Each structure stands twice: as structure tokens, then as C-alpha cells.
A and B are shown apart, each in its own frame.
Chain A
């Protein structure tokens, strides 16, 4: 309708219609009804789909005064260009692009959203052109707009050399920026151009000399531009991107080859800007701005520092020390309260303070600012001489003040217990200061690590070694071992190792906290600070406790004396940390995050055997184990996840080095009570009758929770013991499943135990043990399915419960399947000595178990349940796994199961999320390959794949789809085409026969011919397949959307 009107040249009518529709859309809800609105939307939709709307759109842009209509015209052009690209003459595309650009340039007062849409259309034209390499690079402007549309480092070819290396060109850009910098939008564009020029590299530079010249020129231009001006808010991010690009893209030898003075000015400028952006970022935080431009700029500059100072080959030691001091000081200053710092001060020096609600979703500062903290920590290390003593004195000062403040509160409480309202401002300020000081100290003294043993940073080690001659070891140990005393009250306190003194400053914070708890002031303490303390101690312990001298060239004597293996110092610290953990678990059970960080510290103490050996020598540890086994307060107040981790730690501790008798005793204290209590309950004659008693249910729940914790403790060297222990329970759990069949929360927890055991242990199990586990899982599923098939529930949480069960079952099956690709077992190697050579000649594979499992649970799945996204994803992940790993099993499946699977795939490709669609496409490829291999043209799988061919064909050719999916779809498509060549030709013929327009017919026919040209006849050969995928990309660009025209 619209297309016809346009073709007939009824442009004024079209405009009138569109403007009316725009009015409807823009009207307030009370003025128009839904139908009118939908009608208006439909008008725009069909307008955008109209064929060759270019003339009408140009006319609209030139005459209409309605912004929304202009916007829609730009959108229509953009969509039509891509759709009809191969039908358009190159020259008309070129003139269209020129028209749009000129249009924008001549109308400075366009609405922003209209201008952006038109520029987007230009960008799309340029980008689409780059696919054909048909772009005619004539003007520099053209190139720049291309640069703006991409964000990558700039790698132009040699042909650009003359232009880009011409210093006048670069100067032009700086001049332009100086002239327009007060216009927010334009300034950002010109800075983006400069940022691109700052990342110039590749063949455009004939040699290093030209690169040095270019860089020197650029830095000169940059410094001239920013020195002596007050930087606008809108410039901060752009300028920091320029600097960050210079530092990351230009090699160090080029950077150091520019004139010395220039380089120094550059680094000075960087330091100055970093501090200044940091201060502005702090202001932004106080004002709670939505758009944190200075924070973003600050992040970029701090990251640049990290890149710069980590290079010790090109810069002599100490080169950056002064700058590091400057940036470090300013960071600390911004994060401390007045008078030492400026935290929470607005620009005019007024303190602002508000108590906002913080949800659990808000990231902790240590995670949210981890990149900043890593940079500042690194700068702190290279200026260790300054920064470590600074942190120490700031912390020691706050410890004293905190202690004093808490004492005053206590006295006040004693004097008038009823006077509830105490102003906590002073305390909160101290907590916040200590919070940041601990975070910075943590990042300075140790690195984040995943898995491997973290090393003491070399700068910290060297710093300690350098001063060890002046240090008195005994006084150092005294400072460390007396956290209850003021550091400065210890004689000779200035002749102590500074790194150890910094650690002991944090132990002093921890001690003040512990004493306040003992004085019943817990309600005045900050759980956040409690978290910071245990977070730090964990990080510190991982790196420093029982320092392994073999890992270092040189080791500091104070370190090896205070924390080395077999030292009193390390035994003392382990005892101290353990005490802290036990106290926290008792006092802070209500603070989930703090309890969690605490129990993580405990895991750190026992996960390495050397440390565990010390831990188990502490009486406290045994008390903790006994207390937990008794399930008495306060440990059972802890949340279930903390209890699980505590169980894990207690099990890990059991693998420390002990004599046989002690070990026997330990397990008697830790694991046996669990087993004993459990067996006592379930073996009672009247268990069936009392199973719903609250105490019984609690006992069962606690046992199941503990089993999850035990599974979590699995390591390769304890799996043999733990597996045998857990296996006894698993068999009993199946009985429980029957007893508690009508108690969904218990059923759910039982399945979870199986999930955890499979997750942690299956990869270590040899054939016989894996078989035991498979069988247990199968029985579990059979019982579950028997109890749930045909059962109808109406209670309010029925659907949610079932969703959670099925989700866990899918996870269980996926875990079992993972055995097929992650397998550390060495035919029961880890079990040798436990059960001599129990050979098995059964050959049930994970596949059989999993398929059987799928067969059991599939009838319980419903389309409604697939509406839970996580269940849906887990389900499709599982079936894709199955198709990928065992395509040969699929044709042998029972008919119902086979049909369900195929239906699931069809559903997944047609009406689920794009993620699921991708999974299904990935599943189809191996199925089609399987068919090709088997060469059975009458199998049901063969017929099913024929149907998939049509689906994938339609998806690629006729529907709009996510381009990210093209690869998966392409691979499936090619495999299906190989399998069903005749059907494919038929699909193409049918499609062509519906084309009325001879031009489109011809282009389409050509495109299809080109698509298969390199792979005729198509065979399952890798090279051919790759060629096909490449042609497909081009095909998609030419045809994609062409057929969507109405």
C-alpha cells in the first residue's frame, strides 16, 4: 500500500499520512486508544519495508518539519540500503551517502536523535561498502568517519602514509579540537579522532624513526593542547583514551626514544591528570552522578600506569617512584576523611553524608574497584619506601582512635544504658578510613590469584631485604605477637621490619574488633570492616604464611623468621587466625557475607597440607570440629552455604599429616558422628511414622547439607576415602527419597547431594566406581519418576518445586556426561590399595545412563516449565551435549524419546531464545553427519533431518536472524545440504519460482549459484565446508533481507 503510493509519486500524501501517524504516536496516552496507536505503528513499519523508498525519503528529509518522521525516513533509508544493496548502482549509493552527510552538515539545529540516526545510516553504508571493497577512499573525511564508526586501533595501509604522517594533518586535528572543545558533542568526536590517531600502527610507518617522529609530534601537540587549560567534563574520557592508546599501542623502545625532556613532560602531565581526575571522580561520587565521566577517565589512566610501570627493561629502577608517590598519595587522600583526606567533601569543602540503603546486589568495593586497587597497589609497591610506612602510620593512628572512640561509647552506655541515640558519625568515618586502608594494603602486599600459589611481590621482598640489616628481629616478632598493645609502646619499635609492621597494624585493627566483641559492643562494630579484615588475612595467608623459600631467589630474613615453616611465628599466627575465625563464626552468624569470608579464610588455612599440619595442632580446631558435629549453637545459626563450607574445611583438615591414632580420633570426632546420628534416625523401627516430626526432618536436612559440604572437599588425593564414605550415604538417600516423596524440600536437597557428588568426583572415578555412581543416580531417577508420574499437585509452590527438581536433574545428567570429556581417572588408580583389582566387564557408558535419565524425566517436562529460562537453557545444553557426544545413539532411542528430542530441537530452533537456537543448530550438525555416515535413507533420523533442512533454509534465507548465529546455522545448513541435495535444489527452485521481478529473480539465482559453486557436488569435506561458509557470508550480505521485502 505504502510502496504503491510512493511509486506513484504521491509523496505529499505519504508525508501527510506519516505526519499524522507521528502525531498519534507522540500523543499522551489519554488522547489515543490502543488501536489507533497500533495502526500508527503499522504505518511506519510498512513504510520502512517499502521497496526502494529512497526518493520519497529524500523528499521527506527536505520538506517535513516533524522530527519523528525525519527519524523514520533515516531508518527507512538505512534498512533499504542493506536490503537492496545488490540491486543498487554504486553511484547511487555514493550520492545517497553524500546527500545524507551534506544534509547533516547544513542543518546544525537538527534534533540530536535525528542527526544520530542519519549518521548511523551513513556508517551502515560505509560498513556495508567495506564488505565489497567497493569503497572509494578519496577524502580524508571519509576515512575519519570510518575511523569513528570503529573502535579498534588504527592500522591503515601504506597508501595512507603521506597523509597521516604529515605533521600538518595531525596539527589540524589538534587545532580543530582547540576551536570546538566547548561544544560537548563535537569535542567528543574530535577527541575520538585524536584517540584513533594515537593508536596508529602497522605498515603506515616505514621504519622506527618515523614512528618516533610521529609520536614525538603527537605528544607535543597533545601537551600544547591540554597544558594550561581547564579540562571540560566532556573532555576527560577522550583525553584519557588518547593517553591510554599512546601507552598501550606504541612499543616501549619507541616511547623512550622521543626526546627526554618531552617524555618527562608527558609523564608529569600524566601524573598530574591522574590526580586531578581522581579528585573529580571523588566529587562525582559525592554528588552521586549517573554519568561518572571522571571515574571512567581515572580508571583508564590508572590502567595506563599499570602498563607503564610494569616494564623494568626500558626504565631504570626508581624512574617512576616520584610519580607513583604522587598518584598513591592522592588516591589515599581522596579516600580518607578530613582532616587527612577529602572524602565526602563537596567542591566547596562541605561534608556530605547520607545513609543510603545498600542491597546485597551492590558489589563490594574490593570487587567494584579491583582494577583501580590493583594499579594503586602496584604503584604502592614501586614506591614501597614511602607507601608502606605511610599505610602503617595511617592505620596505627586509626586503631588508636577507634579504640578510644569505642571506649567512650562503652562508658556512655554504662552511664546511661537507655540513651539509645549515639552519634555514630565519628565511628563511621573511622570504619570507612580503615576499610580503604585495608583494601589498599591488601592489594599492595599480595596479588589476586586463581589456583596457583601466589608469590610475594618482588618489590615487597626487596624492600624488606634492603632494610633487614637495620632491623631487630626480636622486636619485629614482638610487634607482631602483641596485637593488643600499641605499636609505639614497644621499645625499639622503629627498628622493626616495615612490611611485618604493616601486617601487625591490621592485626591490631582485628584485635580492637575482637575486644569490642568481648565487651558486648558488637552492635557498634562495622560488619564491613570485619569482612575487610578476614579478606585481608586470607589474601595475606595465601601469599606469606609458611613462605616456601624454594620459590624465591632471595628471601627476607624477617619474613622467614616470622612466617617460615617450623617457626614459632607461623604457629602463633595460625593460632591467632583460627581464634579469629571461631570468634567470627560465633558472633557474626547473622552477617552472611562476613561469615562467608571468614569460613573462606578457614579453607585457606587447611587447603594446603603444610598449613593444615599447623592448624590441627591447635586445640581450638578440635573444639570447632566437635562443636560443629554436635550441631549446637552458635554454629548452627550459620546459613546453609556457610555450614557447607565449614564442613568442607573440617574434612580438608582431616587430610593433614597426623599419626594413625590421631587421624583415627579425628575422623571419629568429625565424620563418624554424622554417620552415627543419621543411621540412628533412619534405622528406627518407626521411622516411617516419625519421619515428619520436626526434629527428625531437621536431622535429615543437616545430614544432607553436610554431605554436600563433604563432596565439596574432594581433591584428587582424598577422593578414594570420600567417595566410599559418601557412597554409603547415597544408597541410603534413595531410601529417603521414598520416605519423603511428598516433602518437596527434602526431595530437592537429596537430588542436590547427588549433583554435588557427581560434580566433584565423577572426573576422578575409574570404571568400577563410576559405574557405582551411575547406578545410584539411575535408581534415584527411577524413584523420582515413579513418585511423580501421574501425581497432581495444586499447592501454591508446585510448579516452582518441580522446576527446581528438574533443573537439578538436568545438572546431574550434565555432570555425569562431563565424564566423557573431563576424565582424570587412571582406571581406579586413586583407589588402588583400597579395593584390589575389582575388574568389571560391564560396559555401560555415561551415554546410556544419561539417555536413560533423559527418558525418565522428559515426560515430566512441559512447555510451561521450559518458560523458566535457566531450566530451558540447562535442558538444551544437555540435549546438545548428547547429540554432540553420542550421535550414534540417537537413532536407537525408543520411539517416544526420539520424537520428544526431535520436537525439542524443532521448538528450540523456532521459538526459543537465540542462545537456545544456537545450541539446537549445534546439535543438528552432528546428527546430520551421523546420517551421512550411516547411509540409511529410510531411518527416522534421516527424515527428521530433512525437515531441519527446510527450517534452517528458511531461517537463513527468509527470516531476520541474529548474525552471531550465522556460523552455527551455516555449518548445520551445509551438512544438511550434503545429506539432502535434491531437496535443497527443490527448495531453491520453489523460492525462485515465486519471484515476479525478473531483476530480483536473476540476482537471487546468481547468488544461489555462487553459494554452491565452490562445493559442487557438496561433500562432507572440511575444505569444501569452509569454502561454503565463506560464500554463505557473502550470500547473506546480498540476499539477507532482500526476500523480506513485502
Chain B
């Protein structure tokens, strides 16, 4: 039986899953990277052969594309993906100051580069209250979305 009361401690980064049970829009580790599955198809060698699964995934942090092909009976690693929303309370030296639900402040997350980063800075400088969505998997973390609080 699963126990839902334990917290994060000891949780592993990935868990195994039979290839056939993976699903499009799900996640998988390809070449050591956590990926979102964007394409999944099967093929076989000869009419009486056994199925092989062809996976195409996009690295959830870098956007890089990875592919893999393996027998459908094989187990693949699936990354544990977590998403958290935090309230933005400051920006310092290129790092975000975020307020967690439990009232703690974390300051270890980088201000993302590019448009989203500019958007966050803009909103912050204009004194708008915003929520930042952060995705984390396999010991890596990244801010991916911003939404004004009302």
C-alpha cells in the first residue's frame, strides 16, 4: 500500500515503468535527461516480431529533443516532476526571492533569462503581485510561468 503521509525525505528522483505503460504527454528519462514525451510509436521486425517502442521526448529544462527505441517490455525511468507556485517578493543579484506557502523564503532560484525574466522584472519593478510557477525534476529547477495575483 502506498503511504501518503511521508514527506520528501528519501524520495527518489525517478521510478521505473514498463515501456508500454508510458503515455504521450507523460514523462521519461532519455539519455539521462528528464523529458516530456511528445511522440510515441511502435514497430516490429517482421510480421511475427515483438513490439518495440520509439520515443521522442523534449528535455523539460533545455527544450532539446531526444529519441530512443527499446523493446516494449523494457522498463524505462520516469522522472518525478514537481510543480510549485511561489509568491515573488524580491529580486537580488539575478536571483528570485520567493515566498513559499508555509511562509519560508527561498532565494536560490535564478531569474530566468529571456522574455519571462524581463516580464518578471518588469512586473516586480511595477510593484505588481505575481506568482511564479517552478518546475523541478532530477535535482534541477526552473521558473516556467508567471501569473498576476488578484
Contact = CB atoms under 8 A, between A and B. Distances in A.
Contacts of B49: 355, 358, 527
A694 B60 contact: no
A339 interface: no
Contacts of B119: 792
Contact of B43 (A357, A431, A528, A595): A357
Contact of B44 (A358, A638, A690, A743): A358
Contacts, number: 141
A804 B25 contact: yes
B147 A792 contact: yes
B51 A527 contact: yes
A637 interface: yes
- The residue in A427, A688, A743 that gathers the most chain B C-beta atoms within 10 A of its C-beta is A743
A358 B47 contact: yes
- The residue in A359, A690, A694, A804 that gathers the most chain B C-beta atoms within 10 A of its C-beta is A694
B36 A742 contact: no
A748 interface: yes
A794 B48 contact: no
Contacts of A681: 4
B134 to A, nearest CB: 9
B38 A797 contact: yes
B21 A797 contact: no
Contact of A431 (B20, B44, B48): B48
Interface in A657-698: 681, 684, 688-690, 692-696
B20 A589 contact: yes
Contact of B144 (A523, A684, A795): A795
Contacts of B42: 359-360, 592
Interface stretch (B82-90, B91-99, B103-111): B82-90
Contact of B135 (A358, A526, A795): A795
A637 B21 contact: yes
Interface in B17-47: 18-21, 23, 25-26, 36, 38, 41-47
Nearest to A698: B2
A797 B142 CA distance: 14
Interface residues of A, number: 55
A623 interface: no
A640 interface: yes
A791 B147 contact: yes
Contacts of B101: 688-689
Contacts of A593: 51
A1034 interface: no
A428 interface: yes
Contacts of A636: 21
Contacts of A804: 25
Contact of A742 (B26, B46, B83, B115): B83
A529 interface: yes
Contact of A592 (B26, B45, B51, B112): B51
Interface string A351-366: 0000111111100000
A795 B47 contact: no
B91 to A, nearest CB: 17
Given A791-B147, A794-B114, A690 B72 contact: no
Nearest to A788: B147
Nearest to B119: A792
Given A790-B147, A791-B145, A357 B20 contact: no
Contacts of B135: 795
- The residue in A593, A638, A692, A792 that gathers the most chain B C-beta atoms within 10 A of its C-beta is A792
A690 B4 CA distance: 8
A804 B144 CA distance: 19
Interface of B: 2-4, 7, 11, 15, 18-21, 23, 25-26, 36, 38, 41-51, 58-60, 63, 71-73, 80, 82-85, 101-102, 112, 114-116, 119, 133, 135, 142, 144-148
21 contacts: A358-B43, A359-B43, A427-B48, A523-B50, A526-B48, A528-B48, A590-B50, A590-B51, A590-B73, A591-B20, A591-B51, A593-B51, A637-B21, A638-B21, A696-B4, A699-B2, A748-B25, A792-B147, A794-B114, A795-B60, A796-B60
The 4 closest A-B pairs by CB, nearest first: A526-B48, A795-B144, A590-B72, A791-B147
Given A787-B147, A792-B119, A796-B60, 14 more contacts: A355-B49, A357-B45, A523-B50, A590-B18, A590-B19, A590-B71, A592-B72, A640-B23, A690-B4, A692-B83, A743-B83, A793-B133, A793-B144, A797-B58
Interface of A: 355-361, 427-428, 431-432, 435, 523, 526-529, 589-593, 595, 636-640, 681, 684, 688-690, 692-696, 699, 742-743, 745, 748, 787, 790-798, 800, 804
